Amino acid sequence: MLIRTPEQDIERILFTEKTIAARVEQLGAELTEKLGHERPVLICVLKGASFFYIDLCRSMNCAIDMDFISVASYGASAKSSGVVRLIKDLDNNITGRHIVIVEDIIDSGLTMQYLRQLFSARGPKSITTVSFLDKRSRHPDSFKTDLCGFEIPDEFVVGYGLDYANYYRNLPYIGILKPECYK
């Protein structure tokens, strides 16, 4: 019996491991310059942003606090349900703190909008949003993030933390998944 490898399901690679690393370093330097003197709280949106989040935290040359939140809008589907559910809340109080929401991808923009509203109600000093990827064609400009790694086409992408049904997260690059794998 032949076992299929994840690479066989990839139509093409959008961003290599090397390209990703260079861009994450740039984003870390920008955040350090902007907030490095403030000891920001970086909030990882689990699970998809975890690879990006860890690399981003390591690329910042300043003191930071780390926290995690888990929300769901996809489940095992390739499309958002349109409803964001809070699964795990923050462990720390963010009142009066500079926070950075670190997201893997902005697709419809609903998750980021939900998180901005949730955190705004808790009285942070500032909210900065960072997404690794952004499908700008899929959401209004009002949903764009403060910092973005890469703009991408309206394709289903996996790798570097992004998944389909919890598969492909561990790929070291961003690739477009073949449609027959998720339809």
76 lies in some domain:
no
The predicted pLDDT at position 137 comes to 86
The DSSP result for 48-111, as a single string, is TTHHHHHHHHHH--S--EEEEEEEES-TTSSS--S--EEEE--SS--TT-EEEEEEEEESSSHH
Contact 161, 104 (CB under 8 A): yes
The predicted pLDDT at position 80 comes to 53
78 lies in some domain:
no
90 lies in some domain:
yes
In which domain, by residue range, is 109 found? 6-71+83-181
77 lies in some domain:
no
DSSP secondary structure code for residue 142 in this structure? G
The predicted pLDDT at position 109 comes to 87
The predicted pLDDT at position 74 comes to 57
93 lies in some domain:
yes
CATH number of the domain within which 93 lies: 3.40.50.2020
In this structure, the strands spanning 65-72 and 41-46 are parallel
> What residues have CB less than 8 Å from 44, skipping those under 6 apart?
50, 53, 66, 67, 68, 69, 102
153 lies in some domain:
yes
| Dihedral (CA of 116, 119, 123, 68) sign | negative
Contact 172, 159 (CB under 8 A): yes
State how many domains the chain has: 1
- Could you give the angle at which helices 50-59 and 17-35 cross, rounded to 10 degrees? 60
133 lies in some domain:
yes
DSSP secondary structure code for residue 178 in this structure? P
The predicted pLDDT at position 139 comes to 83
The predicted pLDDT at position 183 comes to 76
Say whether pTM exceeds 0.85.
Answer: yes
What are the catalytic residues?
A: 107
55 lies in some domain:
yes
pLDDT tens digits, the chain, 183 residues: what are they? 556 678 899 999 999 999 999 999 999 999 999 999 999 999 999 999 999 999 999 999 999 999 999 998 755 545 555 688 899 999 999 999 999 999 999 988 889 999 999 999 999 999 999 999 999 888 877 778 999 999 999 999 999 999 998 899 999 999 999 999 887
